[in-house]
Chains A and B, each alone.
Chain A
Amino acid sequence: MKCDKCDKPAVVHETVILAGVHTTVHLCAEHAGVQMNHVPANAPIAELLAAHLTGERHQPACGGCGMTLAEFRKHNLAGCSACFDALAPVIDQAIQRAQGGAAAHCGRAPARRDDAEARLAYRARLLSDLEQAVSAERYEVAAQVRNALREVDGVAGPKA
């Protein structure tokens, strides 16, 4: 069967039923792409899924080093400190996957840290994480987040 738009063989056949009226279109791969926002047949499934899951076509890049999500996924390496905020939540998931689900650091911190603003932002993030973990009944994660919160509140920085 030929494409409705040109002479190439049709590879996509779509029947639409609208108010009881059946309409069938037959399209080649090229026109299907244009007409129906159809997925190209030769796209690797992993890329498609990744693009679908993260909902982005134009991937954001880290302002610090230019690392894109695609590059991060390919090598599983961050390019600079700023990546850890710029590539969230993808990088958060990668970390938690690599770390057996652990949700936050605990223990030693550089002695000279005392950035009040960053600490408050962090505290707010921890609170929302805690809420999420509890509502998802992920109590082990919730306990870790609670420990991290205690560290933030207890001392000048999350210091041991």
Chain B
Amino acid sequence: MKPVENGGPWLGPLGRDADVVVASRVRLARNLAGFPFTNRASTTQRREVVSMVRDRAQGAAWGRMLRWIDLQACPAEQRMQMVERHLVSKQFAASDAPRAVGISADETLSVMVNEEDHLRIQAMYSGLRIDECFAAATAFDQGAESALDFAWHHRWGYLTACPTNVGCGIRVSVMLHLPALRLTSELDRVRRAAKDLHLALRGFHGEGSEPMGDFYQLSNQITLGMRDEEVVGELRDRIIPQVIRYERLARETYRSKAPAAARDRFIRAAALLTHARIMPLDEAMKLLGRLRLGIASGLTEAIDSTLVHRLLLQVQPAHLALVRPNDPMETLEQQSAARATLLRDALAPLRASIG
């Protein structure tokens, strides 16, 4: 994998709406005809699926850009790094069956083989770039379709193991930073509205109901009876702009009602991040989220959101070990100490600016 300083689609240019949008992702689910789905396939069949997909991709223009990693032969730390970079899912990294992932050099395209479906084609870009994600995922999909026979049903379209993905098999997700909607208790309303529109709003980092750092992902839930372009267009033109507008309005309301409190939240987060000696993961995520809001609100020009995104990745255990290779990491406290050092070093320009 590329060194973390320049690798990862999250760390690319931010573009428009960067105050609210972190990144975009499009995922297509496909299965090979003639094989049972992953959950019913034997070890031999799973191996066959891996080599069939990998061999055809390697020999063709549409798939040559992928570098393949055999997950069974891959050390645990590297698997964790891939999870933290959202190149593979947690379940995929944890399973012990034959499976592989193909990743493009810039890590914007990744293809998991033998996840819940035989192929999970995923394209990711920083900022609000759903169209680019869709184009990249579709280009690979159509290339693959010329060389592989995908499972297909005249009524249900592309077949997937889970009924939630049949049809066009597309999942469009936009990663959003929504701190003000949560602060003003408007998030539940957004969540209910999303549900009515058959969309899901989930925490992006970590699990459970309280997402770390107020980062969320909004995704379509319906994949049947709508063309994939319609799913993309609906989110791009209708849903996402509206959520961005709500979040901006909530930020404005919060700032105008409590300007001192808004500034104080930012200063406190900056002070802790630039001075603490022990920094647990959830606290780091929470404070980095507050820093990001401060940057978007013009409270500092000493650092930019790209640095915050990079740190959001580097504070996670596998990346922390990668960027602080000489620090002891045996205990959680040692990890938290290494994390605190990383943050103090990286945020030195911020420390100088807050006095």
Contact = CB atoms under 8 A, between A and B. Distances in A.
A79 B37 contact: yes
B222 A109 contact: no
B223 interface: yes
B168 A104 contact: no
User: Interface majority SS on B: helix, strand, loop or mixed?
Assistant: loop
Contacts of B151: 81
Contacts of B153: 81, 84, 105
Interface in A74-101: 75-81, 84, 91, 94-95, 97-100
Contact residues on A (Cβ < 8 Å of other chain), bracket: 35 or more
A13 interface: no
B27 to A, nearest CB: 15
Interface stretch (A15-23, A33-41, A42-50, A111-119): A111-119
Contact of A98 (B145, B164, B227): B164
B84 interface: no
Contact of A105 (B37, B156, B162): B156
A80 B118 CA distance: 11
A55 interface: no
A91 B152 CA distance: 15
B60 to A, nearest CB: 15
Nearest to B154: A122
A102 interface: yes
Contacts of A103: 225
Interface string B145-161: 11001111111111111
A144 B225 contact: yes
A70 interface: no
A100 B31 CA distance: 23
A107 B232 CA distance: 13
Contact of B168 (A107, A110, A122): A107
Contacts of B35: 80
Nearest to B168: A107
Given A79-B36, A107-B228, A111-B146, A84 B156 contact: yes
B349 interface: no
B170 to A, nearest CB: 9
A106 interface: yes
A2 interface: no
A122 B155 contact: yes
B166 interface: yes
Interface residues of B, number: 40
Contacts of B146: 111
Interface string B199-240: 000000000000000000000011111111110000000000
Contacts of B116: 77
B33 A81 contact: yes
B39 interface: yes
B159 A109 contact: no
Nearest to A140: B225
Given A77-B37, A81-B31, A99 B161 contact: no
B259 interface: no
Nearest to A67: B40
A77 to B, nearest CB: 5
A105 B228 contact: no
Contacts of A79: 36-37, 39-40, 161
B39 A77 contact: yes
A125 interface: yes
B225 A64 contact: no
A80 B40 contact: yes
B222 A102 contact: yes
Given A77-B162, A103-B225, A110 B167 contact: no
Contact of A109 (B157, B164, B198, B226): B157
Given A79-B39, A104-B156, A108-B168, A98 B228 contact: no
Contacts of A144: 225
Contacts of B163: 76, 78, 91, 94-95, 97-99
B227 A107 contact: yes
Interface of A: 64-67, 75-81, 84, 91, 94-95, 97-100, 102-113, 118-119, 121-122, 125-126, 144, 148, 152, 158, 160
Interface of B: 31, 33, 35-37, 39-40, 116, 145-146, 149-164, 166-168, 198, 221-230
9 contacts: A65-B37, A67-B40, A76-B163, A78-B162, A99-B224, A105-B157, A106-B157, A106-B226, A108-B228
Given A97-B163, A110-B145, 9 more contacts: A65-B36, A76-B163, A81-B151, A81-B152, A105-B158, A108-B168, A108-B228, A113-B152, A144-B225
Q: Which 9 pairs from chain A and chain B are nearest by CB?
A: A105-B157, A102-B225, A107-B227, A122-B154, A79-B40, A99-B224, A102-B224, A80-B36, A98-B163
